[in-house]
């Protein structure tokens, strides 16, 4: 049966685009290198029609499908299991920008389009596509939508879901839903677009999308501020909303230890102010008037923040190069943490007003449970999303730390998230990594509705089974 299926897949997509021999680690190994599966084959279709034909063939053979974009996910949602009986469907050949509608402020792109490429095409046409995250040079828009990616500008523009106006989707039955009309108003029944966005390939395969564009700002300025506590960071956020309004497009918080790792492992990056303050904040102001207007706004904001004690020191980037350097420091934290050794990652969201208390409480719980534990606390404070990561004690064995403490650490953190009415997955998704935790922290009513949707749209379990929700 497997050989018959492989022959069928070769007929559909061509021999060069059906891989089943040799090193397939680029598709079988997840970005964190913590999960490696075994694929029956990797198929690289070139059209939505080919995707549909592949789905039909796999369903008929009883073989499930794992859709994959740039394979940059962090929750084990886009790599196969170890059965050797799953097809990885790579969408990287579906990478065309189909159309820009300037009057409608939309762009229609295929799912395999690299996020950075999409940004550059939009900018060349005089527009902004604001989704921005550290993996933008390799992640794809299809994967961004499948996981409802967040990033650094959610405070102004929202998650990937908020930037999407339409989808083209291949269903579990091998049908193609054409929903790329780009309408901002369409109340003709259930919102199927939002159902597929964030479903991680468990309901269907996104093959193209129509996304929102925005006018390019006249100026973008970046500031780096030292703050004496997380409470002061929240107070600074309130001032920034008041003084910058919709111009506030980024607000990131970074703990001292997180920044120390960047200084340690990437000494060529000059990290400002980190040694003299518990937290630093990175702010971005996008202005549609002028650079002078933007700079005056920033100076007024920071002057008031200094007077009120929210900020102890600050620097404003003098040019685009300096701004990129500051953002590069923030984006280097995950890489620096990886250089430091294995760690336990958390992608959580809490109401902004409750984050200081959450951090203080959970820091104390972890310090009591594990002597010498190190906390890599950073993230998108502007939208309440923290990457609250836990590093082994400095002199400890990182592998042994994960083996002995990962379950206990996750329990402490996720129970604290529940007490503060938060979410255990803010922007990374559920994948396979958090399926069990979701069942513990999602309400039975919500889980029941999710299972009903999965069963209705994918009754044969073709689409990425065992991810997000178990049937």
Rounded to whole angstroms, the Cα distance separating 464 from 86 reads 9
User: Do the Cβ atoms of 385 and 440 come closer than 8 Å?
Assistant: no
- Digit-by-digit pLDDT tens for the chain (471 residues) are 589 999 999 999 999 999 999 899 999 998 877 778 999 999 999 999 999 999 999 999 999 999 999 999 988 899 999 999 999 999 999 999 999 999 999 999 999 999 999 999 999 999 999 999 988 999 999 999 999 999 999 999 999 999 999 999 999 999 999 999 999 999 999 999 999 999 999 999 999 999 999 999 999 999 999 999 999 999 999 999 999 999 999 999 999 999 999 999 999 999 999 999 999 999 999 998 888 898 999 999 999 999 999 999 999 999 889 999 999 999 999 999 989 988 999 999 999 999 999 999 999 999 999 999 999 999 999 999 999 999 999 887 888 999 999 999 999 999 999 999 999 999 999 998 899 999 999 999 999 999 999 999 999 999 999 999 998
Instruction: Let me know if 242 is exposed, middle or buried by CB neighbors in 10 A (0-12, 13-18, 19+).
Output: exposed
Could you give the angle at the alpha carbon of 194 between the alpha carbons of 192 and 196, nearest 5°?
Answer: 70
CA separation for the pair 91, 326 (Å, rounded): 33
- Rounded CA gap, 198 and 129, in Å? 19
Q: Give the tokens for residue 189.
A: 């029944």
What span, in angstroms and rounded, lies between the C-alpha atoms of 403 and 357?
A: 29
Distance between CA atoms of 467 and 471, rounded to whole angstroms? 10
Task: Please report the pLDDT score of residue 180 as a whole number.
Answer: 97
Three-state DSSP class for 222?
strand
- Residue-level pLDDT at 35: 79
CB-based burial of residue 191 (10 Å sphere; 0-12 exposed, 13-18 middle, 19+ buried)? exposed
- Residues 249 and 327: beta-carbon distance below 8 Å: no
- Quick one: pLDDT at residue 1? 54
Instruction: Indicate where the chain has its CATH 3.30.70.2190 domain(s).
Output: 219-334
Strand order in the sheet with 18-19: 18-19, 41-43, 86-90, 64-68
Q: Which residues contact 91 (CB under 8 A, 6 or more apart)?
A: 45, 51, 67, 68, 69, 110, 111, 112, 140, 142, 205, 207
As a residue count, the chain comes to: 471
Residue span(s) of the chain under CATH 3.30.43.10 come to 2-90
| 336: number of Cβ within 10 Å | 20
Fold of 2-90: 3.30.43
Residues 6+ apart with CB under 8 A from 273: 224, 225, 226, 280, 313, 315
Residue pointed to by tokens 């959610």: 154
Alpha-carbon distance of 208 to 216, in angstroms, equals: 24
- E strand spans, 191-327: 204-212, 214-215, 219-227, 248-255, 279-287, 313-316
Asked: is 97-215 a CATH 1.10.3720.10 domain? The reply is no
Q: Strand, helix or coil at 257?
A: helix
- Answer yes or no: CATH 3.40.47.10 is held by domain 219-334: no
């Amino acid at each position: 049966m497997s050989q018959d299926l492989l022959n069928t897949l070769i007929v559909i997509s061509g021999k060069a685009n059906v891989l089943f021999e040799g090193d397939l680690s680029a598709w079988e190994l997840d970005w964190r290198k913590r999960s490696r599966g075994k694929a029956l084959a990797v198929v690289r279709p070139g059209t939505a029609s080919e995707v549909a034909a592949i789905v039909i063939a796999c369903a008929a053979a009883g073989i499930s499908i794992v859709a994959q974009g740039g394979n940059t996910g962090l929750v084990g949602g886009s790599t196969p299991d170890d059965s050797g009986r799953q097809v990885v469907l790579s969408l990287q050949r579906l990478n065309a920008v189909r159309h820009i509608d300037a009057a409608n402020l939309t762009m229609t792109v295929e799912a395999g389009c690299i996020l950075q490429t999409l940004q550059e095409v939009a900018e060349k046409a005089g527009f902004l596509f604001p989704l921005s995250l550290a993996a933008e040079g390799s992640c794809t828009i299809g994967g961004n939508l499948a996981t409802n990616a967040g990033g650094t500008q959610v405070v102004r523009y929202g998650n990937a879901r908020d930037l999407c106006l339409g989808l083209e989707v291949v269903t579990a039955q091998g049908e193609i839903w054409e929903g790329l009309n780009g309408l901002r108003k369409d109340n003709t029944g259930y919102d199927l677009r939002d159902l597929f966005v964030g479903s991680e390939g468990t309901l269907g395969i996104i093959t193209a999308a129509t996304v929102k564009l925005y006018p390019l700002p006249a100026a973008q300025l970046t500031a780096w501020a030292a703050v004496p506590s997380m409470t002061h960071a929240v107070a600074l956020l309130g001032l920034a909303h008041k003084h910058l309004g919709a111009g506030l497009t980024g607000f990131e918080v970074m703990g001292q230890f997180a920044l120390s790792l960047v200084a340690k492992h990437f000494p060529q990056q000059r990290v400002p102010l980190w040694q003299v303050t518990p937290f630093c904040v990175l702010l971005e102001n996008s202005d549609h008037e002028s650079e002078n207007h933007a700079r005056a706004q920033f100076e007024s904001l920071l002057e008031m923040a200094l007077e009120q004690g929210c900020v102890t020191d600050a620097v404003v980037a003098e040019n685009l190069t300096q701004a990129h350097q500051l953002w590069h420091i923030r984006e280097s934290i995950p890489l620096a943490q990886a250089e430091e050794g294995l760690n336990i990652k958390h992608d959580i969201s809490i109401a902004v007003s409750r984050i200081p208390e959450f951090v203080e409480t959970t820091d104390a719980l972890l310090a009591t449970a594990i002597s010498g534990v190190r906390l890599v606390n950073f993230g998108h404070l502007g939208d309440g999303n923290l990457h609250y990561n836990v590093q082994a004690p400095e002199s400890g064995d990182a592998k042994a730390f994960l083996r002995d403490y990962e379950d206990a650490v996750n329990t402490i953190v996720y129970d604290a998230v529940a007490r503060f009415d938060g979410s255990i997955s803010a922007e990374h998704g559920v994948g396979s990594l958090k399926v069990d935790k979701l069942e513990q922290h999602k309400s039975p009513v919500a889980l029941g509705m999710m299972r009903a949707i999965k069963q209705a749209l994918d009754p044969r379990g073709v689409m990425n089974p065992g991810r997000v929700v178990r049937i």
